[in-house]
Structure 1
Amino acid sequence: MPKPTDETTKEVIGLFAAINRRYAQESEAAATAHELTPLQAKALLATQEPCPMRHIADHLHAEPSNVTAIIDRLEQRGLVERHPDPGDRRVKLAAATTAGHAVIADLRARMPFAAAPLDRLDTRQRATLRELLQLMLEDP
């Protein structure tokens, strides 16, 4: 039988939800300013340096086929370009164009919380938070 939820647990869950909401609202507003979806903006941010499409899929927690469609749209807008990896021509690299880098800079400027949500925590606090979150995810 599950234990009843205490007030502290309810408050912590509410704080997780508030952090997620703030991150999502800020990300969506920044993306909307450039007529992008939040997922397109996140993909564009991942292309600041040339990277394999697989890396973008991992970053977005998405299937590679879905990432191809997202990168297609960004490429059509002139924000990203694709080219073969010189080290392995079977791998496609996606990289932001000059226009893409300008949008990336503006997205970052519009997302101060999303870009650095842990800024108010010192190194010790960040390590403690990481350990606590990892503990929550461990199998019982």
Structure 2
Amino acid sequence: MTSITPPAAPTSVELMDQLAQTAAAYYRNFATAAAARGLTLMQGKMLSLLRRPMPMRSLADLLACDASNVTGIIDRLEARGLVRREADPADRRIKRVTLTEEGERTVQEIRAELLTTLSGLDDLGEQDRRTFQRLLTGIFPAGAA
């Protein structure tokens, strides 16, 4: 009787490389979905982050870019009617960015298109979804990203 030795678990470096390849594929698909709506990758990412009104400084932090870059992106999105700026009720000096109805529709379209390229997510059962979420959270704990 021969025993079959299971393959060695991937190393952290191998997992990191696979994660990088997965992220690159995701953002290629995201860029394609955004471009189909006349948006750059960064404009699409900005829209997708606006699940609630958010200060421009917070957007810059999330996107890991300079606040002046965010201003330019917001200017272009606002000109297209996808976002609007409003003063923060607690501090009028702070400008919050919020999606317009058209912006919300655009985000929904991008997400719907992405789900067609990530059809494997739909194939996951409830337990696998929980496991996947736990693994992602373990790799990228809140506040660490």
Residues 28-86 of structure 1 show CA distances to partners (whole Å, capped at 9, x for unaligned) of: 11111111111101111122321111111112111111101100010011101101011
**Unpaired runs of 5+ in structure 2?**
1-9, 141-145
Offset, 1:12: 3.2
Offset, 1:21: 2.2
Question: 2-side partners of 1:18 and 1:113: how far apart?
Answer: 19
Offset, 1:25: 1.3
Report if aligned partners of 1:48, 1:104 keep a CA contact under 8 Å in 2: no
Runs of 4+ in 1 over 2 A off after TM superposition: 8-14, 112-131
Structure 2 residue corresponding to 1:123, chosen from 104, 115, 130: 130
Q: How does 1:83-122 map to 2 (within 5 A)?
A: 83-112=86-115, 120=124, 121-122=128-129
**Unpaired runs of 5+ in structure 1?**
1-7, 135-140
SS of aligned partner of 2:94 = strand
TM-score when normalising by structure 2: 0.72
Determine the structure 2 residue equivalent to 1:40: 43
Question: 2-side partners of 1:115 and 1:56: how far apart?
Answer: 26
Distance 1:127 1:36, change over 3 A: same
Bigger RCO of structures 1 and 2 (CA < 8 A, at least 6 apart): 1
Offset, 1:22: 1.5
Structure 1 stretch displaced more, 18-27 or 79-88: 18-27
Structure 1 residue corresponding to 2:69, chosen from 66, 82, 99: 66
Give the alignment's Cα RMSD to 1 decimal.
2.9
One-letter amino acid of the structure 1 residue matched with residue 105 of structure 2: A
TM-score when normalising by structure 1: 0.75
Size of the aligned set, in residue pairs, is 128
Determine the structure 2 residue equivalent to 1:82: 85
Determine the structure 1 residue equivalent to 2:7: none
Report if aligned partners of 1:23, 1:113 keep a CA contact under 8 Å in 2: no
Matched, 1:19 2:22: yes
One-letter amino acid of the structure 1 residue matched with residue 92 of structure 2: R
